[in-house]
Amino acid sequence: MTEARDLLIRDATLPDGRTGQDLLILAGRIAAVGPALAAPPGVPTLDAQGWMVSAPFVDAHFHMDATLSYGLPRVNASGTLLEGIALWGELKPQLTQEALVERALQYCDWAVAKGLLAIRSHVDICDDRLLAVEALLEVRRRVAPWLDLQLVAFPQDGVLRSPSALANLKRALDLGVEVVGGIPHFERTAEHGAESVRLLCELAAERGLRVDMHCDESDDPLSRHIETLAFHTQRLGLQGRVTGSHLTSMHSMDNYYVSKLLPLIAEAGVHAVANPLINITLQGRHDTYPKRRGMTRVPELMAAGVNVAFGHDCVMDPWYSLGSGDMLEVAQMGLHVAQMTSQAQMRACFDAVTTNAAQVLGLDGHGLDVGCHGDVVLLQARSPVEAIRLRATRLAVVRRGQVIARCAPAQAVLDLPGRGPATIDWTLQR
């Protein structure tokens, strides 16, 4: 791990609106929060200058084995989910462990620079070589000092549909992958999908592991595996340890059925992860007009008491040609797609890429309370809403009390004829 350090952050604004706050980090943990804290001898100081200090960003859903592979072996011409899956199948035989590690490490550098210090990555286990699993286990080891990487054993081709997937999944867990994955809507029949949910939840319960399933990533309103996932979560006592990712079929479901479904998800303590950038890109591809938005019912899930997080999902891979590891971009897209424009809802979108996502991963010590890890991000913004609006510059990224990334403040100088020079401040101070 990164060597635990001491650090005093002066004059910070906190996400809850408190201003003029100091944060004292001792031995890598937050020891005190409040105004005008006494500075222990020899502790270095970071002047926040009134900017906002936040807990680090957390990505609750990503595919690091595919990241930065855009254009290999070709580009997804249709832009559809199914062509992306087929394209990944073409690429897998050409993968090497060295290239996988190199691309993943490059992405982790991007992530750290953006204040993203925890990622849950699904890793495909349907290649009998388990090449990607071994590569990402090595990446996890290397980045551990500055980034928490949690891995999901993901049967991309279906745990029942692919002959060796179940055996490979168990091998991946034996090697140290922490979470059981699944993709029930991609099995050959709805019955096989439901059977895969049962089988995989029982495997997780037997091993004491978490579950994260690509669940109902479809425009088909009859894809209802989230109901089965909620049932087995409750039956097996897995509350709080299970996540349904994507859940895009919910955007097409009948409202009456959803009125029954939402309480079931909440009662089972199942987390939900939406992936705004990718859901809005891949879904609704068979529609003419009107076109469906593609993202699950985020505000309704939140109102029902479900913990909802956002994930980046893809960056420059067979499914998505853009992205930079910026979770504020993810939050901004989620805000727009879900039409979450009240002040409370916009703050909830910020939580979806910080505190809510940390709950999905089960991270201990994430936050700004005394006793939490000394991991923070200094943002050139004065509120969570402003951070989303500006995709705020990460002025400093701190891990266990040590500054591990810095960025100069974003500013521009105008020199307009007849007006003279002026410095632009995109923030609105009231």
Q: Report the alpha-carbon distance of residue 203 to residue 188 in Å, rounded.
A: 21
- Tell me how far apart the alpha carbons of residues 376 and 379 are, in angstroms, rounded to a whole number: 10
Q: How far, in Å, CA of 394 to CA of 6, rounded?
A: 20
In terms of Cα–Cα distance, which of 19, 7, 23, 20 is closest to 55? Answer: 23
Cβ burial 188-200 (10 Å sphere, 16+ → b, else e): eebebbbbbbbbb
Encoding tokens for residue 9? 């952050």
Whole-angstrom Cα distance, residue 168 to residue 198? 18
Q: Which residue has the tokens 């003029």?
A: 20
Among residues 178, 187, 217, 386, which one is catalytic? 217
Beta bridge partners of 273: 245, 309
Alpha-carbon separation of residue 424 from 139, 384, 409 (angstroms): 40, 20, 11
217 catalytic per annotation? yes
* CA–CA gap between residue 39 and residue 25 (Å, rounded): 11
- Closest C-alpha to 275, from 123, 89, 81: 81
If one counts every other C-beta atom within 10 angstroms of the C-beta of residue 50, the result is 14
Tokens found for residue 286: 């068979």
Beta carbons of 206 and 213 less than 8 angstroms apart:
no
DSSP character for 130?
A: -
Kindly tell me the burial class for residue 269, based on how many C-beta atoms sit within 10 Å of its own C-beta (0-12, 13-18, 19 or more): middle
242-246, strands of its sheet edge to edge: 57-62, 116-124, 148-154, 179-182, 210-215, 242-246, 271-274, 308-310
Rg (CA), the chain: 22
Would you give the distance in Å from CA 195 to the centre of its chain?
27
Please give the backbone phi and psi of residue 2, each rounded to the nearest 5 degrees, phi first. -60, 140
Residue positions annotated with a catalytic role? 217
